[in-house]
Amino acid sequence: MLGRLALSAALGLAILAGLVWGGIIVVPRHLNPFAPLRVADEVNWLTRIKLSRLERSGPQCLGVLAESDVSYRPVSDREDRDGCGLSNAVEVTEASRALSGNFTASCPLAVAWALFDRHVVGPSARRHLRQDVARVVHFGTYACRNINHRAEGRRSEHATANAIDLAGFVLADGQQITVRADWTGSDPRRAAFLRDVRDGACGFFDVVLSPDYNEAHHDHFHFDMGAYRACR
Find the DSSP H helices in 67-185.
107-116, 122-129, 179-182
Q: For residue 46, which phi and psi values (nearest 5 degrees)? A: -80, -20
**pTM metric for this prediction:** 0.88
| Burial of residue 76, with CB atoms counted within 10 A of its CB: 0-12 exposed, 13-18 middle, 19 or more buried | exposed
pLDDT band at 17 (very low <50, low <70, confident <90, very high): very low
pLDDT per position as a tens digit, 155-204: 999 999 999 999 999 999 999 999 999 999 999 999 999 999 999 999 99
Tell how far CA 164 is from the center of its chain: 9
pLDDT per position as a tens digit, 97-148: 999 999 999 999 999 999 999 999 999 999 999 999 999 999 999 999 998 8
pLDDT at 33: 87
Domain boundary assignment for the chain: 1-35, 36-231
Question: Is-contact 224 205, C-beta < 8 A?
Answer: yes
134 three-state secondary structure: strand
pLDDT above 70: residue 21:
no
